[in-house]
Chains A and B, each alone.
Chain A
Amino acid sequence: MNFSPSNKNWARVALALRIVLGMIFVYAAYLKLHESWRLFAMSIDSYQIVHSVFLETWIAKTLPWLELALGLWLIAGFWLRGSATITALLLSGFFGLMIWAHFKGLEIDCGCFGPGEKISWITMLRDGSLLAGALALAAWSYFGNRRARHSQPGEVAV
């Protein structure tokens, strides 16, 4: 891909990506924080990966706040390389778990946007698209944007 700094279209795409991803993360966090953390803990338990109630509790209490912080960080746009990388890593984890659960035959809630949404091809397509967007944003922040490439924590990239 040509992430030429002179290509203003890429800058616009990157701006749209970080705003959309940021808003989605804020929305996902809001839906989880709006309900009891215990509902999210039970969604985590249904993946049958974490076998400790203590860990499930800890993840259920902290992950929505991380999503909220990450969403706001993406929207704010400072140190984009950091926020885009963490977003891509987090979405890779979510997407991998979803694929794993689907092929293991677990008919469970995805837990992505609060309770009540089963893992399906639609949720996988949605999370896959978000991951692709996050990867493109991360790639752009590393190779495309001169300011992002040389930006330090605290600087606005786009």
Chain B
Amino acid sequence: MVNMKLCALALAALLGALPAFAASTTTAKGRGYGNPSAPLLIELYSDLECPACKVFHEKFLPQLMREYVDTGKVYLMDYIMSNHAHSVEASGYAFAAARIGKYNEVANALFFRQPEWSANGKVWDVVAAVLSPAEQAKVKALAKDPGVIAQIKAENDLGRTKIERTPTMLVLRGMKQYHFEGSPPWDIFSGFLNELLAKQ
């Protein structure tokens, strides 16, 4: 019992420390982070069950958030795709959690414990661990909501028209669009963003 409490505390501390998702605004399609009038827009397409997306969210995204989104240089739109065995269920809970303001907690937990739920299929256990009993009831009910189901389909359909694999970032500046798959080397990528920002 003590071990379980320690594990829960450690997990809560770790999830709290993950800066991957800061304050966000959720729209009908996707979630936006940062200043909507920032000079650069990045559309991020990921899948909660894709291993490369886990690496991206834990290693690359925190730097991007800290240096560009939180500083108002980049507006990030986050889209979740559902192309793996348990992705649809996971996105359903994440989108349902977004409706009660708990998207970041749920998405971070799902990425953090991805190998576990991806292997055993127990997605709900991971989601429930970061929600109170009242929130669990709401999320479980909302996950069956037609609006949430429609959002899963809408983000998936949008992604399919724009990308071939996850994670992919589309950096948009004016009419120009740059396509990056996976996690590019941070030094080179940030240098590229700085070049674009300098051209503004």
Q: For chain A, which range describes its interface: under 10, 10 to 19, 20 to 34, or 35 or more residues?
A: 10 to 19
**In contact, A56 and B185 (Cβ under 8 angstroms):** yes
Select the residue from A36, A53, A57 with max chain B CB neighbours within 10 A. Answer: A36
**In contact, B178 and A115 (Cβ under 8 angstroms):** yes
**A97-129 interface with B by 8 A CB criterion:** 107-108, 115-116, 118
Please pick, from B165, B182, B187, B192, the residue contacting A39 in the complex, using a CB distance under 8 A.
Answer: B192
List chain A residues, Cβ under 8 A from B184.
Answer: 42, 45-46
Smallest distance from the beta carbon of A41 to chain B beta carbons, Å?
Answer: 5
Total B residues in contact with A, Cβ cutoff 8 Å: 15
List chain B residues, Cβ under 8 A from A38.
Answer: 188-189, 191-192, 195
**A44-93 interface with B by 8 A CB criterion:** 45-46, 53, 56-57
List chain A residues, Cβ under 8 A from B189.
Answer: 38, 42
**In contact, B185 and A107 (Cβ under 8 angstroms):** no
What's the Cα separation between A20 and B195 when bound, in Å?
Answer: 34
**B154-191 interface with A by 8 A CB criterion:** 164-165, 178-182, 184-185, 187-189, 191
Chain A to chain B contacts (Cβ below 8 Å), 30 pairs: A36-B192, A36-B195, A38-B188, A38-B189, A38-B191, A38-B192, A38-B195, A39-B178, A39-B192, A41-B185, A41-B188, A42-B184, A42-B185, A42-B188, A42-B189, A42-B192, A45-B184, A45-B185, A45-B188, A46-B181, A46-B184, A53-B187, A56-B188, A57-B188, A107-B181, A108-B181, A115-B178, A115-B179, A116-B179, A118-B164
| B contact set with A: CB distance below 8 Å | 164-165, 178-182, 184-185, 187-189, 191-192, 195
